[in-house]
């Protein structure tokens, strides 16, 4: 057998992971680390082959790598960037290897996922997206293949940010100007404004919504019909058991027109965690052109086919999906004429009618410029986007293992029962983070209801029950659980240590190291805080 290559005299290739539009990806061992840790090496090659372009690509690549470094360095659901370099005519990224399985791979053998599992994944990824968007980055290629569920915990991790790939598409126009020549994204998962080169934050929510729909139905967007008048994807008949509120949230996420979607990740996260029908509803402005297909109650869906929660059949969905994945790999970066985006006079194309109203220029050099249209000669990164509302930092989310059963094969269809899959038990860490978020948002009643009943009944702490709890939190203007970590964990009990940061209404800042004990409530399917203790 041929010896596998050693890249840059350092990264010993273990196996080839995949090939995409701009290069190849390898699993490798870092021979210069004592542990010989595993890493993912991405080798990219610019599409234009000349030295002028290479210089430009190098500059952009460096900027985008710096962004990846920041993102991965601050969020555990984004791979850490270990290194980047250029070697001859290739550019390399070396990233943390995420041990696990892509969401699409997971579905192939576990079957379609339950609503609660999909909801958990969404809630978790929305926190990641809010973090990403707070850095003014639009991911641009969210899809089941770019989400890895970590082995053991099934925590979703977001891969493959589009901007680096985009740098590989740098070309020089006839007029001598460098510009992008590609739109990054995957057909079907990519909304129209992104296909037109103008992604906004809610473009990621659109892709995430369709990813969730894939997880619920086993169908990729190309396998679903759309309403010919409105362009709305008609998925509900394939997920008849989904609750109306959850379905409405997904419908809002996948609206073809960006202004009709949730504008930012936080809003979708709030709709999911509170599941208030009013938050899920598409804004009134959307109803006029889509009222026949939106926010459909289950009874309004005509004769949904009875679909048992079977695994995605290997003979149909899997091969289709494999085909689609292959297409995605080829089409992941859609080539467009550089001149389409490049405006020699410096003007941008007109705002599309469906661009987000919130997305007004704050940091671009040109008032009309969109994130998808820039000139490389300007000193800004390809992935900066425009927004008036910077997403506030939201906590990272982590998931832990659990062993509740979800879909089994329908024996009436002759399918074999798959092994009992694990589903998500929300992580104790996420629970702790949420608790501080709730009190920060003054949702005291909600926060109180998530304390264990024994804790709530402790009159030595809460002398006046809920009122003393709410009164105390009213003295705090902002609370945050920093760096929470699970110290102990069994199926039913978890202990999390965290540094609590409290900004008091008086202006004083308080930092409290705390140990928080949580008990699993099977009925509520939630972690309840049963005790907190100040650490020395």
Ligand X SMILES: Nc1ncnc2c1ncn2[C@@H]1O[C@H](COP(=O)(O)OP(=O)(O)OP(=O)(O)O)[C@@H](O)[C@H]1O
User: Contact between 151 and ligand X (CB under 6 A)?
Assistant: no
DSSP for 31-63, written as a single string: TTSTT--EEEEEEE--SS-SHHHHHHHHHHHHH
Angle at 27 between CA 26 and CA 29, to 5 degrees: 125
Q: Which of 4, 13, 14, 17 binds ligand X (CB under 6 A)?
A: 17
Q: Which of positions 162-191 make contact with ligand X (CB under 6 A)? A: none
User: Pairing relation of β-strands 493-504 and 476-489?
Assistant: antiparallel
Beta-bridge partner residues of 478: 503
User: Contact between 421 and ligand X (CB under 6 A)?
Assistant: no
> What is the end-to-end Cα distance of the chain in Å, rounded?
58
x/- binding map, residues 29-68, to ligand X, per CB under 6 A? -----------x-x--------------------------
User: Distance between CA atoms of 83 and 71, rounded to whole angstroms?
Assistant: 14
Q: Which of 19, 31, 468, 475 binds ligand X (CB under 6 A)?
A: 19
User: Distance between CA atoms of 164 and 469, rounded to whole angstroms?
Assistant: 48
Q: Which of 7, 21, 181, 182 binds ligand X (CB under 6 A)?
A: 21
Q: Is 272 exposed, middle or buried (0-12, 13-18, 19+ CB in 10 A)?
A: buried
Q: Is 463 helix (H, G, I), strand (E, B) or coil?
A: coil
Interhelix angle 428-440/115-134, rounded to 10 degrees, is: 60
**What are the structure tokens assigned to 491, written together?**
């199926």
Q: Is 6 helix (H, G, I), strand (E, B) or coil?
A: strand
- Give the interface segment with ligand X, choosing from 2-10, 11-19, 251-259, 503-511 (CB under 6 A): 11-19
User: Contact between 329 and ligand X (CB under 6 A)?
Assistant: yes
Closest approach of ligand X to the CB of residue 83, in Å: 13
Q: Which of 4, 20, 109, 116 binds ligand X (CB under 6 A)?
A: 20
What stretches of 302-424 show up as alpha helix (H) in DSSP?
319-331, 338-341
User: Contact between 154 and ligand X (CB under 6 A)?
Assistant: no
Q: Would the annotation count 42 as a binding residue? A: yes
User: Contact between 317 and ligand X (CB under 6 A)?
Assistant: no
Q: Which of positions 80-139 make contact with ligand X (CB under 6 A)? A: 95-98, 102
- Judged by beta carbon, residue 15 or residue 353, the one nearer ligand X is 15
Closest approach of ligand X to the CB of residue 189, in Å: 12
Q: Which of 196, 209, 332, 338 binds ligand X (CB under 6 A)?
A: 332
Q: Which residue is nearest to ligand X (CB)?
A: 20
Q: Which of positions 461-500 make contact with ligand X (CB under 6 A)? A: none
> Binding site: what residues are annotated?
42
Contacts with ligand X by CB under 6 A lie at 17-21, 25, 40, 42, 79, 95-98, 102, 145, 148, 159-160, 329, 332
């Amino acid at each position: 057998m041929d010896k596998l290559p050693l890249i840059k005299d350092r990264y010993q290739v273990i196996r080839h992971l995949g090939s995409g539009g701009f290069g190849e990806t390898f699993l490798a061992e870092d021979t210069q680390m004592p542990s010989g840790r595993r890493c993912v090496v991405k080798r990219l090659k610019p599409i234009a082959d000349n030295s002028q372009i290479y210089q430009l690509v190098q500059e952009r690549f460096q900027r985008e790598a710096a962004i990846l470094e920041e993102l991965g360095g601050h969020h555990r659901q984004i791979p850490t960037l270990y290194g980047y370099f250029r070697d001859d005519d290739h550019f390399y990224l070396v990233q943390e290897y995420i041990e696990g399985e892509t969401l699409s791979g997971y579905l192939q053998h576990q079957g379609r996922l339950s609503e609660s599992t999909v909801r958990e994944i969404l809630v978790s990824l929305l926190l990641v997206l809010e973090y990403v968007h707070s850095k003014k980055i639009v991911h641009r290629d969210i899809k089941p293949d770019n989400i890895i569920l970590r082995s053991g915990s099934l925590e979703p991790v977001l891969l493959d940010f589009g901007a680096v790939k985009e740098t590989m598409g740098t070309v020089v126009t006839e007029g001598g100007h460098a510009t992008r020549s590609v739109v990054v994204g995957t057909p079907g998962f990519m909304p129209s404004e992104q296909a037109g080169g103008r992604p906004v934050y809610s473009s990621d929510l659109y892709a995430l919504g369709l990813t969730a729909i894939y997880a619920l139905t086993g169908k990729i967007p190309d396998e679903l019909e759309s309403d010919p008048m409105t362009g709305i994807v008609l998925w509900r008949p394939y997920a008849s058991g989904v609750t109306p509120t959850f379905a409405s949230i997904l419908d809002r996420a996948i609206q073809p027109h960006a202004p009709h979607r949730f504008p930012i990740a936080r809003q979708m996260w709030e709709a999911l965690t509170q599941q208030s029908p009013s938050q899920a509803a598409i804004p009134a402005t959307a109803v006029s052109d889509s009222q026949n297909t939106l926010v459909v109650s289950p009874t309004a869906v005509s004769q949904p086919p009875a679909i048992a929660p079977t695994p995605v059949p290997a003979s149909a969905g899997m091969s289709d999906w494999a085909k689609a994945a292959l297409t995605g790999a080829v089409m992941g970066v859609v080539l467009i004429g550089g001149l389409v985006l490049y405006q020699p006079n410096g003007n941008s194309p007109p705002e599309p009618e469906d661009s987000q109203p919130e997305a007004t220029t704050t940091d671009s050099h040109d008032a009309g410029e969109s994130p998808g249209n820039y000139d490389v000669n300007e000193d800004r990164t390809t992935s900066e986007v425009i927004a008036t509302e910077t997403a506030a930092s939201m906590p990272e989310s982590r998931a832990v293992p659990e062993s509740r059963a979800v879909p089994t094969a329908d024996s009436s269809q002759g399918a074999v029962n798959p092994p009992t899959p694990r589903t998500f038990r929300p992580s104790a860490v996420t629970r702790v983070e949420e608790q501080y978020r709730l009190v920060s948002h003054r949702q005291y009643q909600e926060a109180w209801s998530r304390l264990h009943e024994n804790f709530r009944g402790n009159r030595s702490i809460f002398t006046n029950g809920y009122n003393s709890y709410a009164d105390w939190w009213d003295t705090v203007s902002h609370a945050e659980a920093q760096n929470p970590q699970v110290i102990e964990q069994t199926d039913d009990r978890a202990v999390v240590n965290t540094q609590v940061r409290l900004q008091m209404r008086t202006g004083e800042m308080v930092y409290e190291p705390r140990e928080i004990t949580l008990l699993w409530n099977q009925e509520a399917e939630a972690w309840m805080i049963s005790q907190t203790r100040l650490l020395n």
